[in-house]
């Protein structure tokens, strides 16, 4: 993306703190520097427990970071930095599996395409029994991950247990760089509507989205739903590149304002899909890069945004490499949509040390919206500022009954055991059920008996009251284990009124304006570009 100035990763040299480390500070701040010098000196010399210099400096640095009261500013150890980079980039060196704990063993939840695991014939539901010569029974997912990750090209042998196969299956792999798909799957919901869930913004997000959109168009998609619900964000450049798939070259996508600094990000390329009608789904878990995309598409009337208010993470973090393999991720600016709306929602730390919204408004009542600053989209639709992305159409998710809520509260302390036993039951149905299967009440009873035997105490009346919620959980897991993600989505459509609302809006839409008209949010004024703030 074109910028007035690109942010760079800087390598900082840590100055010694003791013995005049702040000698270059302005005279007016030397008192504070002297205070820190003195505290560090007395802790180093007089504290009852001995701390080496490295521990002392790290504790001082962590204390400084903590006192900023910014949940997004963090000091990373070398190991934490490696994990952060892996999660952000969506790449790592391993064999290419998503795993979860099921019973005594960690089990394969998904096999990534073009990975050593796929090439070796690993299947979803396989249990990881032995890694090299280490028995993995009782291991948690982190312990298994630590054994499976390693240098590219290095060997690792894994022995799997597979349902229906009496003998363990031993497979030798060579670790490779793994690409974790940002789009786990894409599908046609009906004969004219495509659906693309986006789980993260990693290095391949734009490519994954582009391939999915073009594939769906070839299959006859006349409108597409992009699902950003629960997407926490990721790489900033991918948010711009993804927006550019749908917005014309030269359009402003985002601006960043820091301490005396201003950057503007502009679409560089001609769009891949400038016309196909879009609905973007968001919720309280849609944050950061997700909000950048939703905000840009909303500002230019390129997509209708539907769901509930997004998270409101509009702070920019830069990562600075430090000596010794450490790194500092620090907030350096705020994001603004093309119309000038700040994405950051105000939060303060409560007594429990948690950051909470100053004005919680996840359902965006009329009175709350009217109290917020108003902006205009490119064609005159009213948009709301004050932090986060307010949907054009607010649709609350399906709610649980009071009995289901009571069940969830009761099972919460034992949720991991609950999930593990559901997975065991689901694996037992693989190869036995058809895509149109119905949840057998006997499965629910079997689950209750397994939990009881596993020392989980839950009142039977509470359990029975939660039956619909339990059956949904069993249904999803059986569908996933037996047939994969697309069947899970297709079967769960009956419980997803947000997605159903999006599909209904796209059914008769030939162009994007038709979607706004169907939703009752059609623009009343036509203007060039993007209008800025109006009114209060």
- The helix (run of H) or strand (run of E) holding residue 502 is helix 497-506
Is 86:43 a contact under the CB 8 Å cutoff? no
- Give all strands (DSSP E) within 337-399, no chain letters: 347-349, 355-357, 374-376, 382-384, 393-394
Among residues 212, 243, 286, 288, the one annotated as catalytic is 288
C-alpha atoms less than 13 angstroms from C-alpha of 432 in its C-beta half-sphere:
12
| Residue 473: C-alpha distances to residues 277, 413, 488 (Å) | 33, 17, 11
Q: How does DSSP classify residue 191?
A: S
Let me know if 67 is exposed, middle or buried by CB neighbors in 10 A (0-12, 13-18, 19+).
exposed
C-alpha atoms less than 13 angstroms from C-alpha of 72 in its C-beta half-sphere:
20
Is 155:142 a contact under the CB 8 Å cutoff? no
Query: Does residue 286 carry a catalytic annotation?
Result: no
Among residues 313, 329, 376, 450, the one annotated as catalytic is 313
Torsion sign, CA atoms 91, 94, 100, 101: negative
* Token pair in block for residue 161: 């247990």
Which of 301, 373, 308, 369 is CA-nearest to residue 341?
373
- Give all strands (DSSP E) within 358-486, no chain letters: 374-376, 382-384, 393-394
Q: How far apart are CA 448 and CA 444, in angstroms?
A: 6
Tokens 């670790």 sit on residue: 175
Which of 507, 314, 300, 303 is CA-nearest to residue 391?
303
Q: How far apart are CA 258 and CA 251, in angstroms?
A: 22
Query: Does residue 288 carry a catalytic annotation?
Result: yes
Among residues 283, 299, 361, 392, the one annotated as catalytic is 299
Q: Please, what is the Cα angle at 221 between 220 and 227, to 5 degrees?
A: 150
Q: How far apart are CA 284 and CA 232, in angstroms?
A: 10
Catalytic (active-site) positions: 288, 299, 313
């Amino acid at each position: 993306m074109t910028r007035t100035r690109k942010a760079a990763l800087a390598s900082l040299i840590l100055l010694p703190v003791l013995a005049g480390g702040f000698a270059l500070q302005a005279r007016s701040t030397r008192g504070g520097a002297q205070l820190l010098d003195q505290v560090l000196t007395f802790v180093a010399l007089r504290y009852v427990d001995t701390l080496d210099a490295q521990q002392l400096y790290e504790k001082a640095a962590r204390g400084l970071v903590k006192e900023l009261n910014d949940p997004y500013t963090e000091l990373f150890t070398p190991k934490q930095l490696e994990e952060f980079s892996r999660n952000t980039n969506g790449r790592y060196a391993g064999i290419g599996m998503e795993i979860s704990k099921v019973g005594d063993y960690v089990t394969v939840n998904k096999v990534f395409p073009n990975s050593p695991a796929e090439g070796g014939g690993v299947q979803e539901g396989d249990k990881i029994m032995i890694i090299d010569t280490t028995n993995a029974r009782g291991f948690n997912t982190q312990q298994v991950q630590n054994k499976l990750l390693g240098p590219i090209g290095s060997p690792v042998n894994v022995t799997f247990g597979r349902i229906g196969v009496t003998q363990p299956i031993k497979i030798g792999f060579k670790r490779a760089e793994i690409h974790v798909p940002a789009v786990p799957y894409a599908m046609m919901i009906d004969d004219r509507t495509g659906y693309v869930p986006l789980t993260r913004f990693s290095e391949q997000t734009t490519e994954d989205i582009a391939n999915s959109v073009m594939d769906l168009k070839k299959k006859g998609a006349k409108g597409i739903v992009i699902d950003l619900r629960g997407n926490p964000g990721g790489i900033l450049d991918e948010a711009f590149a993804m927006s550019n798939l749908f917005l014309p070259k030269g359009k402003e996508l985002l601006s960043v304002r820091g301490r005396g600094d201003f950057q503007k990000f502009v679409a560089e390329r001609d769009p891949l899909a400038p016309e196909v009608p879009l609905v973007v789904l968001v919720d309280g878990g849609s944050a950061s890069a997700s909000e950048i995309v939703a905000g840009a598409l909303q500002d230019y009337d390129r997509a209708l945004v539907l769901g509930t208010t997004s998270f409101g993470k509009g702070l920019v973090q830069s990562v600075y490499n430090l000596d010794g393999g450490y790194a500092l991720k620090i907030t350096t600016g705020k994001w603004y949509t093309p119309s000038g709306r700040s994405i950051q929602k105000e939060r303060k730390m409560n007594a429990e040390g948690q950051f909470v919204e100053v004005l919680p408004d996840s359902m965006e009542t009329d009175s709350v919206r009217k109290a917020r600053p108003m902006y205009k989209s490119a064609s005159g639709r009213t948009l709301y500022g004050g932090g986060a992305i307010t949907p054009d159409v607010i649709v609350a998710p399906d709610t649980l009954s009071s009995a289901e809520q009571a069940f969830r509260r009761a099972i919460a302390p034992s949720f991991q055991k609950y999930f593990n036993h559901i997975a065991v039951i689901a694996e037992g149905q693989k190869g036995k059920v058809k895509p149109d299967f119905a949840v057998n009440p006997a499965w629910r009873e079997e689950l209750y008996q397994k939990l009881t035997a596993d020392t989980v105490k839950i009142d039977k009346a509470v359990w029975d009251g939660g039956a619909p919620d339990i059956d949904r959980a069993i249904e999803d897991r059986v569908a996933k284990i037996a047939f994969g993600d697309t069947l899970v989505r297709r079967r769960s459509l009956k419980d997803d009124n947000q997605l159903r609302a999006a599909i209904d809006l796209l059914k008769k839409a030939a162009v994007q304006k038709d979607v706004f008209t169907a939703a009752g949010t059609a623009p009343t004024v036509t203007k060039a570009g993007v209008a800025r703030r109006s009114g209060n």
